[in-house]
Amino acid sequence: MTPSVPTLEEALPDLISLLRASGRPYRIVGGVAVVHHGYVRATQDVGVLVTAEHGLDSLLVTFGFSREGPTRLRHRSGTQIDLLIAGQPSPRSGEAAYPEPDTLMASPGSADVVGLVGLIALKLAARRAQDRADIVALLTPLDDAAYLVLEASLPASRRAMLAALRDEALEELAMARAAT
């Protein structure tokens, strides 16, 4: 039995076109960014960090989108787009406000996607089980030098949580090696 899941392949190019046409800074975050950074997992929506004055409404129909709520769009393919508005607090964590998109470095592979440090910082702040699992998966392939650069790039308040997740990543790696 397979549920009907909208595909991102149709929505993602339209979303990037919409965001670029708006002229506002943005970064793709969430599951799509996790996949971009090398951990392949299923995701049914697209998270986008946008500025508070994102100017999208006048362009939505042109690119195949409709507004479902203040922070949610829907593409004609059925794909849900979640807008994370800079300056608004993360709804799940009670943490500080979402950062401005242009304060987070872009991925070297795509200027549209948040870099690894910013992605991990956002996921550490969210504190959801899926976010922790994503971080472990993203840390697993990093060697010690790459991990230390990543750790040094994060605020000191996040480093203990990151270190615990790094321990989990190393444990996963050891178990995978033992199984082969």
Quick one: pLDDT at residue 94?
Answer: 64
Quick one: pLDDT at residue 84?
Answer: 93
The residue to which tokens 């996921």 are assigned: 123
CA distance to 77, 85, 126, 132, per residue, from 163 (Å): 40, 28, 16, 12
Quick one: pLDDT at residue 6?
Answer: 59
Quick one: pLDDT at residue 132?
Answer: 92
SS3 sequence of 82-95: EEEECCCECCCCCC
Quick one: pLDDT at residue 55?
Answer: 77
Q: Where are the domains of the chain?
A: 8-179
pLDDT in tens, the chain (180 residues): 345 555 778 899 999 999 999 999 999 999 999 999 999 888 889 999 999 877 788 999 999 999 999 999 999 999 999 999 999 887 665 667 899 999 999 999 999 999 999 999 999 988 888 999 999 999 999 999 999 999 999 989 889 999 998 988 888 878 877 887
The closest of 24, 23, 22, 27 to 117, measured between CA atoms, is: 27
Cβ–Cβ under 8 Å, residues 101 and 135: no
Overall fold of domain 8-179: Beta Polymerase; domain 2 (3.30.460)
Q: Which two tokens stand for residue 23?
A: 């002229």
The three-class DSSP label of residue 135 is helix
What residues does 46 pair with on adjacent strands? 81
